[in-house]
A = this chain, B = another copy of it.
Amino acid sequence: MDYCIGIDIGGTNIVIGLIGPDGKIVRGTKIPTRAADGADTILSRIDAAVRETAQAAGVDLAEIGAVGMGVPGFVDHENGISLHSVNLNWRGVPVAPIMREKLGIPTFINNDVRMYIYGEAAQGAGKGYRHVLGLTLGTGLAAALVVDGQLYHGGGNMAGELGHITLDDIPYTCKCGLKGCLETVASGPGLARQARDRIREGRDSVLKEWYPGDAIEQLTAKDLSRAYDMGDPVAVEVLQTTGRLLGKGLASAVTLFSPDVVIVGGGVSAAGERLMAPIREALQAHLIPAYWEHIRVVTAVLGDDAGVIGSGLYAKQRAGLQA
C-alpha cells in the first residue's frame, strides 16, 4: 500500500507514474490523449497503461494504495467528477468512481494546476515550507496555495486565480471580460502578444528576421528567451516588463497569504532568471520589508513530473495514507 499512481491528463498526452514510498517516480509512461475518442475509451486506456506500468515495475496492484489524477478545467474534487474540461471535451464525467471501479484502488482527482503545485510543495521547490504559493505560467496564469500540506480551494472552489488580478498598467482586455488581467501579459500567449505589438509598432528586433511579415503570428515565448540572450531590445523589454508586472501582482498575493515560498512554474518559467530577476525586483519594491525578508522566490524544480507526483501524493493523502 506504500505505492501510489499519479496521472497527469493533458490535452495532448497523458503521463502516468508509479510513485514509490519515498515520493519519487519508480516507473513512468506516456500515452496520447486523443480526446476525440471520448472519456470511456480514454479511461480504459489509462486503466490498461496503469496495469502495464505496475507490472513492468514488478509491483502488484494490491501494493498501490491510491490513484490520483490531475484533470484540466473545473473539477469537483470531493466527488471525483470532471465538471467541465474544454480541452478534453468532458462535462460531468465521474472520473474517480470509474477508475476506482476499473482498478479496484481508491482514486481521487483534482485540477491539474493544483496537482502540479501540490507536487512542487510536497517534493519540489516547496518541500519543507508550511505556506506555499505556486503559480504556473503557461497558456494561462494560474496559482494554488498549499498550507500545511493541504490544498486551499476557497469558496466555490475558485481560489487562486492570480491570472485575473487586474493592474492599471496592463492595457489588454482579457477573455474573461476584465481589463488589465495579469494573464494577458504573464503567460505564453501574453508574452508573444507583447512582442508582436512592439514589432507592429515598428520596433527593431531580431524576431522580425526570424518571423518575417505574417509569420510573426507564430512567435512563441521560447523565441523571446533566445532573442533576449542575443540582447534583442524588444525581447529584453517584454520579459522585463512582464516580470515586473507579475511581481507587482504577486505582491498583493504575498501580502494577503504571507507564503513562506513562492514557486514560479509552468512551461514559460523556463525563461528562468530573465523573468525571475524582474519578478523579484518588483516584489521587493511593492512589499513591506518583513515579507520580502521572509519569502523565497524560486522556480519549480520537478518539471513535467510535478503534476504526476502531485497527483499521486494528493491521492495518498486523501486515502488517509502517509504521503
Residues of A within 8 A of B (CB): 129-131, 143, 147, 152-162, 164-169, 176-178, 249, 251-253, 255-260, 286-291, 294-295
Known: A156-B294, A161-B256, A176-B288. 7 other contacts (CB 8 A): A131-B155, A161-B255, A161-B291, A168-B168, A249-B252, A252-B256, A253-B256
A162 touches B295 (CB 8 A): no
Instruction: Tell me the complex Cα distance, A176–B251, Å.
Output: 15
Q: Which residues of B contact A255 (CB under 8 A)?
A: 161-162, 164-165
Q: How far is the CB of A86 from chain B (nearest CB, A)?
A: 15
Complex CA–CA separation, A236 to B289 (angstroms): 35
Are A256 and B294 also in contact (CB < 8 A) when A176-B288, A286-B178 are? no
A158 with B251: in contact, given A256-B165, A256-B257, A257-B256 (CB under 8 Å)? no
**A159 proximity list for chain B (CB < 8 A):** 256-258
What are 21 A-to-B residue pairs whose CB atoms are below 8 Å?
A130-B155, A131-B155, A143-B256, A147-B152, A155-B294, A158-B291, A158-B294, A159-B256, A159-B258, A161-B255, A161-B291, A164-B288, A165-B252, A165-B255, A165-B256, A168-B168, A168-B169, A178-B286, A178-B287, A252-B252, A252-B253
Assess the A288–B178 pair: CB atoms within 8 A: yes
- B residues near A158, Cβ cutoff 8 Å: 258, 290-291, 294
Q: State the Cβ distance, A294 to closest chain B Cβ, in Å.
A: 5
